[in-house]
Amino acid sequence: MASKKRVMAAAGVAITLGLTTAACGGGSDSDDKGGNSGGAAGYNAAITGVVNPSTTKGGTLNLWSSQDADSWDPVRGYYAFVWNLNRLYTRKLVDYSAAPGKDGLKLTPDLAAAEPEVSADKLTYTFKLRDGIKFDDGSPITSKDIKYGIERVWASDVLSGGPVYLPGILDPDKTYKGPYKDTDPNKLGLKSVTTPDDKTISFKLTKPSGDFLYLLAMPGSGPVPQKRDTGAQYGKKPASSGPYMFKDIQPGKSASWVRNPNWDPATDPIRKALPDAINLTITTNADDLDSRLLAGTADLDVGQVGVQAAARTKLLSDPNLKKNADNPVSGFLRYAGITPVAPLDNIECRKAVIYAADPTALQAAFGGPLAAGDIGTSMLPENIAGSDANYDPFNRKQGKPQVDKAKEALTACGKPNGFDLTITARNNRAQEVKAAEALQASLKAVGINAKIDQYDGAQQASITGSPDNVKKKGYGIIMAAWAADYPTGSGYMQPLSDSRFIPANGNYNLPEIKDPAIDELFDKANVEPDPTKAAEYYKQINTKIMEGAYYLPVVSAKALNYRNPRLTNVYIHDTFGQVDFQALGVNDGK
């Protein structure tokens, strides 16, 4: 996801903190072949349970990727796999539990000894740190290191690329300019975070927020020792607070980790730290990576976005390979945003577009039901509370375009003979362009003539993210994809549908939805302490978005990934939609 800046809305505490350890087994509601009660390998076995549970230490984990990390600096990385890998070397006050299934969405105290003390007005959070926590150089991790690490989020001018959520809650007026422009001699000038002693850190929020703890679980909220901070260069050699520390980083080529001798397993309820060393090799050839996976010379593709078409065929037609594959939901939703460019400002014309779109052709463009995922029906992905897989207001699941209904809608819109519009797709995403072509072909059947405009995906924020530019260029439909930075309904949907989230640049509320009812529901959900009740609000928001026909949901993305049979403790972590890298081990000691 490109960088998302956001202003936080009012909220209450809605997060259950509970100590959870990686548990074997899991849900039994799986409809997959080769059941997984005993932790054995099997197709999709890592989705519901732990494959090859083990506590055997030793060996080297050989990870591969077809893409380099955006940055190893915890504040600057934004790729999902980089956040996941950060769990190896960046601990936070709280982090996601190491468990398969829904348990992985829960937060566990990590550097913090226990859940925070929250004041009655829900504005002050106080954490006590654990004893015995140390950086890789042996120096103790103090509350000041955590505060300094968090202050670096403010320095987005020097440390670009990562999410900038915390200032919205702790310092919405941005009075603090970041540690590099800090006049305080200790560079700890951020007023809303206080460190009364080395073991205590306290946060003073400007407004209640149910999302606050999720923001503390982001890698950018991890500790950074001030004397080792090299500013924009810090990603070349980040300090480690976790069980592994960097041995070597070769940009574009590789990264490797070895054990951090100063990490004490007794202080860490989350990480297993089984292998002695971890190597990540970066290749530009995705097909070569797939062959290495299937041949067993690579352990795992950390990108976790699925194998290429050629490997997909091999993998699915050989039962011995298939049992080492998983097809999890990645948490990404691919959709088309319908903008208010005339005549799409009329709800009936938007409905015509949604009814005319061929759900199966769009799904096929992204790779079919296994590689692309299930046909999208609404705007809340299934890993987020409040989503309902059976909610299908436009009857898309049946898989055929509904030409009659589309024509009815066109007549109601006053354009019975159709109209012209422009679809945009990012030119660096081949599948997105193919999907735009599929949409173009199905719209033609009802008389809507679409032109495809391909643009440089790196310029997204200023091209499709600028409402002025969208209006000027007349972009009617914008192909896009979105995943939540943290697993709540507001974390996912608020940037897409709240009228207060329409910046002049980097806008993701593509349809420019300005519905006071939706805004009000977000406000209610954010102060609702009970997650089940909050989920009910998210469900209503989802319904309102769909009733307004603002988005055409395309697919709820899945990825077909392969895991080396020698890997132990493999399970899909629901927060990332990926294998939990920190839990992995190898069973042959190599």
Which listed range, 104-112, 269-277, 293-301, 366-374, lies at the site for another protein (CB under 8 A)?
366-374
Q: Per CB under 8 A, does 368 bind another protein?
A: yes
* 447: contact with another protein by CB under 8 A: no
Q: How many CB atoms lie within 10 A of CB 92?
A: 30
Q: Which of 408, 437, 515, 536 binds another protein (CB under 8 A)?
A: 437
Q: How far is the CB of 432 from another protein (least distance, A)?
A: 11
- Could you give the string, one character per residue 264-303, with x where binding to another protein holds by CB under 8 A and - elsewhere? ----------------------------------------
Closest to 270 in 3D by CA, of 88, 97, 90, 84:
97
Q: What is the DSSP string of 434-490?
A: HHHHHHHHHHHTTT-EEEEEEE-GGGHHHHTS-HHHHHHHTEEEEEEEE--SSSSHH
Rounded to an integer, what distance in angstroms lies between the CA atom of residue 37 and that of residue 54?
15
Q: Does 365 bind another protein (CB under 8 A)?
A: yes
The answer to whether residue 218 forms part of the interface with another protein (CB under 8 A) is no
- Give the helix/strand (H/E) hosting 228: none
Q: Under a CB-based contact definition with an 8 Å cutoff, are residues 491 and 333 in contact?
A: no
Q: Which is nearer to another protein, 363 or 526 (CB)?
A: 363
Show the CA angle centred on residue 568, arms to residues 567 and 569, nearest 5°: 130
User: Which member of 442, 466, 526, 542 binds another protein (CB under 8 A)?
Assistant: 442
Site string for another protein, 316-355 (x = CB under 8 A): x---------------------------------------
Tokens standing for residue 254:
């590789």
**Residues 569, 585: contact at Cβ < 8 Å?**
yes
- Structural contact between residues 271 and 582, judged by C-beta atoms closer than 8 angstroms: yes
Instruction: For residues 244 and 85, give the distance between their C-alpha atoms in angstroms, rounded to a whole number.
Output: 10
575 binds another protein (CB under 8 A): no
Minimum distance, C-beta of residue 308 to another protein, in the bound complex (Å): 7
> Which position among 403, 452, 461, 481 is part of the footprint of another protein (CB under 8 A)?
452
**Measured from the CB atom, is 259 or 312 closer to another protein?**
312
Question: Least separation, in Å, of the C-beta of 462 and another protein?
Answer: 16
In whole angstroms, the minimum distance from the beta carbon of 409 to another protein comes to 21
Q: Which is nearer to another protein, 174 or 400 (CB)?
A: 400
Is 44 a binder of another protein (CB under 8 A)?
A: no
66 binds another protein (CB under 8 A): no
Binding another protein by CB under 8 A: which of 292, 312, 334, 351?
312
Instruction: Please spell the DSSP secondary structure of 368-429, one letter per residue.
Output: HHHHTEEEP-SSS-TTSTT--TT--TT--TT-S--HHHHHHHHHHHT-TT--EEEEEEETT-
Site residues, another protein (CB under 8 A): 308-310, 312-313, 316, 358, 360-361, 363-365, 367-371, 427, 430, 433-434, 436-438, 440-442, 444, 451-454
